[in-house]
Structures are given as structure tokens and as C-alpha cells.
Chain A
Amino acid sequence: MTTMRTWFFTEDCYPDLPPQDEWDSIRVDLPNQLCEPENAHRLYNEYLDIWCAADEMGLDIMVNEHHQTATCMIPAAPIMLGILARQTKDARLLILGNPLPNRNQPVRVAEEMALIDVISKGRLECGFVRSVPYEAAAANMLPYKGSERLWESHDLIMKAWTTHDGPFNFEGKYYHHRQVNIWPRPYQDPHPPVWITTGGASSTDPVAKHGHVAAVFLAGYSRVRPVFDAYRENYLKHHGTHAPLDRLAYCGLVYVGDDERAVEKGANELMWYMQANKVTEQWKNPPGYHPPQVAAGIMKGAHISGSGAAYSTDLKEHMRRGNVFAGTPDQVYEQIKAFWEYSGGFGHMLMMGQAGHLPKDDTLRSMQLYADEVYPRLRELAATWDPEEIMEKRKAMPDQEHAEITDLSVDFVR
């Protein structure tokens, strides 16, 4: 049966910063004297409370990690997920993801993930990501050939998860490990579901080939079709059947309010996520992350997208682009439904439902409204999905142009 799962996600930001003109970059070199331990303690516990509430409401959970940044206080997502593995009961636990090219010990990643899977009794969904450009300096890793590193690391982890008869040897181009024999092995057999983020059509092929879930962040109307369509084509090519609905995931900002006033307040607070990402040129452009054409554009002062679309931090504009879904339950359902149909359908809504100063109570209210009034209808909608019918239906919705998301789609996609 086709269905839709919703994963509650927050980046765990540290929003209590001085005005933007008092610092250069929110990432990499923002001095950590601005991070008050007492305040961070309070924030971490609020975020954990929110995730635990998601579990109570019947939502699944998504966690990610970044380094040396106030946009995301989690430098070790497996630790957060380890806490949630114990403190939640039903939610599936998605880490999206492990920044494989920046981690020199894939076997350690395999071990951490297996540990979470066993503690949670098989609730882990394991994402692997190339990671964003700013992570290069923080990880001291050259991002050149990051995708190649990702896939070699992936292969080693998959083999570590699925080999149960003692040590094997792995001597690849990037990773060497001669006696691989992880304890514990994963709870799920043969292994936890795997997710990979993709930013463009060309990177979907290996994801589809492995049958992993492809997740797209903030691609908006203009990019979702090319990426999802490429995945579907590649999946059909490799497997001879249509990609199931649950192989595709979309992440957008979501805020559901009781009335217009609540929506206006909550959704604008969520926009912190878009507004706070002030980053200096050198952190956006480590050597080898972008191809020379893109890198040259950044040196010239361009934003990363290169689409020609204006950089925007405006709520209405981002709603138009399909990056933000905000309104009353009816409105949010209609917005997601329109985007879902336009995209050809996806089985996972990654709901970024908290950012910036959006208070815990407002966040919980939005989640509750979503869980009670939006989610059931999305599940019904997904149950009607048929891979051929939806493509017919889609033809009535012409491609939307000039709705390109800015830098942010690139920034946060991985």
C-alpha cells in the first residue's frame, strides 16, 4: 500500500546571536564565546522534548548534523539519535545524514548506526550525505571527489552491516580496513533502510540503482521534477519496475497555525532559517567542492544557485517557490497536495517545523495541527497514488519556471 510518512526535523539552531552586522559568518569562524553553555543546555533539552512529542503525536523523527555553526548545534547526530532511540517508542529515527566523505572511519559509522538500530529495536533509517561546502574547513577535509568518497564509504558500511561470518578485508581507493567485523550487527535484516540526499538529476543514478531513498531539500517547484523524474527513470532502468512512492522524500519548511495571525507569526519565525545563513565567500567555496564554473561564480560574488532567480528571504516568495508550506490546516494540506501532485508524488514529507526563535509551544501546536488535520489527509492522498495515473494528471500542471530556490537548496541539501 502506498502511504506518506512525515518526519519532524529541526536543525537545533542556536538563535540567540548578536545582530548580523556584528559578525561575518554564522558558520566556521563564529567564536563559540557566543554559545552560552546554560542556554545551549536549555535549547538541547527543548529540542529533545519536541522530538519526543513528535513520537507521541505519531510523527517520525529526523536528525542531522553540522559543525562549527550556530545554524545547527548538533556536531554528532548519532549522539542525539542515541538519546532518542531510548526515549522514544514508536517513531522511526532518520539520520540525514552521516557526512561520509568527512569521516575517516566508515566502520565506526557502521558501528554507531548498528548500535542505534539495536537500542531502538530496528527503528533506524540511515542517511548518508556528501555534506555542505562549509564542512570542509570544519572537518579539515578536501571536498574534491566527495561523491566518490561517499560511495566507497557506503560500500564498506553496507558490507560491514551485512557480513556475519567474521572479518573481511577492505582496501579501497580511500578507505582501508583489514579486519572488519562489527559488533553489534544491525537489528534490521539485512540492514536499516538507507537514504541519500541528491541535489541534481545526475546524482540520482547510483541512489536509484541501490534502491535507496532519494531525499531532496528545498528544491522547490523548479527543481523537484527534474530530480524526481531522473530518479524514477533510473529506478525503472535498473529494476524494471516503477520506483515505489516511498523511495522519494521532500524536505520543506512547514508551519500550521490555528488562524491567520498565528500562521503569520510562526511562519515568519521559521524564516530565520533562510535569513540567518550569512556566510563569507571562502567558506562557501572550498577547493574541489564545486566545479570550476560554479566556483568562479562564487569568486565573482554570485550566490550558489546560478539560476538567475533573485536571492530571497521573503516568506511569500518561498511559499510560491514550494519551499515553505504555511497556513491553516486546510491551506497547508492544499499547498502540499499541489506540490505533491506537481512533483509526481513522494512518500516522505520531511517537515522542518522549527527554526530560529520559534518557541517550543508554537512548534508543538503546529505539529499537533499537522498530525491531527493535515497528516491523515496526506495519507489518504498518498493511498490514491498510481505511478502512471499521476503522470497523466501532472500533464495538466505545466512546468513552473522562475521559481528557483536560492543558494539555500544547495547549502542545505547535503
Chain B
Amino acid sequence: MKLQGKEIDVVRKGSGQPLLLLHGGGGPIAAMPFADKLAEKFEIIAPTHPGFGGSKIPDHFNRVDDLVFLYLDLLDELDLNDVILMGFSMGGWTAVELATMNSTRLSKMILVDPVGVKVGGREDRDIADVFALPGEKLVELMFHDVSLAPKPADMPDDQLQLMAANRIALGVYTWDPYMHNPKLPHRLHRIKMPTHFIWGESDGIVTVDYGQKYCKLIDGATMTVIENAGHSPQVEQPEAFVDAVFKCAG
């Protein structure tokens, strides 16, 4: 669909209460089994962040708030109301920023292993530096079961290039300050809707401990920890993940 004069890829599927799904740094996820399951209860609206999935990054885009304004426009354009806002990792950060700016069209927020805030001191590495890790180490932090991780050596060139392009886009949006907005904690009081965190127990990118501290920053927020899952519980434990979603938004 066309937003801000740009063609934005948006997957829409299912019917029911609208659920705006914002993917993480790995790229679009709306085609995954967990999303099919969610589509049985919700109308999923899943845009692809510009730069991901082979799309172009607009010339002036370089921060998460560029995405936030894009999706505020999307909510207006589709005239969506009573929306469940769901964000994964950097998409979770985007969701939280959006909720602090304008939540009038939103009724609930679900955050899956989100980044976006700094909880420790200036010398604490709250969020693993994904750009400073060799591939195999990154996979260990991302996955509970590393056998589920994509293997670049076995991937066809076009898929690997998409993965490389996604990584560039992730860098563009999150490089500095790294994966967080220092002002965000000072704006979280504006979030009044029910907010639920879902976290993979083995996440090494942002740990459960980080999640618990993040959760405490949002009034009344609750959290489900999913066992045997890393940074992407929707991939490693899709059933437990969908159950957790239905439980808080069913």
C-alpha cells in the first residue's frame, strides 16, 4: 500500500480484531506458522519495514521514529480501531515508541523480546552487539536450539542476499544509540493500555532479566516466559507462543 508517497509491503490475513504486527531485525515473519494460527482469531496487518525483505530504504529514513510515523499513518489510512499492537525485537521497540506518541487507535500491546530501552549502567552491555559477533556466536545467543538457525553456507544466493540486506536495514535503524532510545523511559508513563511481554527463556540477545526490568517500566505490564526458546519464541515454540497471545488477548 502507499504511505508517505512510498509503496510499503503490507501482508493482511485473517479476520477479527485488527492486530498490527511489527517484525524484528530478521525480516518479515507474517508467513510463519504462528501467524497463520493468529490469523484464525485476528485480522493481521503486517507491514515490512522499508529496507527489509528486499525493499528500499527511503533516503531520509535512519531511525526507528521514521517507522513510527509510517505506521501512525498506516493506522489512519486503514482507519483501524481497537488495535492489538504486537512487536518483535526492534519491532517491539517501534511499537513502544508508537504507543507513547499516539495510542488512540490501540487497545492492547504485546511485546516479544523487545529492545528499545537501556536498563543497566553505561558500561553494561544490556543488548548483545549483534554487529560485533561472528555468525556462529550470534546464532547461539539467538536460538535455544541452534539447529533451527539458518545456515548461510547452505542458503541459496538470493535468500542470503535478502538476509544481508535485512542486516543492513537493521543497522540503519538501530546503530547509534544502539538498539535503544535514551528518552524512551521518560515517555513510558504515557502508555495506559494493557501491555504484555512475551520472552524466550534462553534469549541471549536481550535476557529475561532485561525483560523483567523493561516490564517494570510500564505501569501494570505483565510477562510470560516461554521455555526452550531464545530471541524468537514464535519460531522455536509457536504453540506456546500462540497460547500466550490468546491468553492475554483472546
Contacts and interface: CB of A to CB of B under 8 A. Distances in A.
Given A300-B152, A300-B153, A288 B168 contact: yes
A202 interface: no
B164 A296 contact: yes
B176 A142 contact: yes
Nearest to A24: B134
A82 interface: no
A53 interface: no
Given A296-B157, A296-B164, A300-B153, A280 B134 contact: yes
B172 A288 contact: yes
Q: Which of B132, B170, B176 is packed against the most chain A CB atoms within 10 Å? A: B132
A296 B134 contact: no
Given A142-B172, A142-B175, A287-B170, A296 B153 contact: no
Contacts, number: 63
A299 B172 contact: no
Contacts of B131: 137, 282, 286-287
Interface residues of B, number: 24
Interface in B101-153: 131-135, 152-153
| Interface hub of B133, B153, B155, B171 (most chain A Cβ within 10 A) | B171
Interface string A285-306: 0111000110110011100000
B135 A287 contact: no
Given A281-B135, A287-B168, A292 B161 contact: yes
Nearest to A300: B152
A142 B132 contact: no
A271 to B, nearest CB: 27
Contact of B171 (A283, A287, A299): A287
B63 to A, nearest CB: 11
Contacts of A295: 161, 164-165, 167-168
Contacts of A301: 152-153
B172 A282 contact: no
B218 interface: no
B134 A287 contact: no
Contact of A144 (B161, B163, B164, B172): B172
Contacts of B171: 142, 144, 286-288
Contacts of B165: 292, 295
Given A142-B175, A282-B131, A292-B161, 15 more contacts: A137-B132, A140-B176, A144-B62, A144-B168, A281-B134, A286-B131, A287-B168, A287-B170, A288-B172, A293-B161, A293-B164, A295-B168, A296-B161, A299-B152, A300-B152
Going nearest first, the 5 A-B pairs with the smallest beta carbon separation are: A287-B171, A295-B164, A142-B175, A292-B165, A296-B164
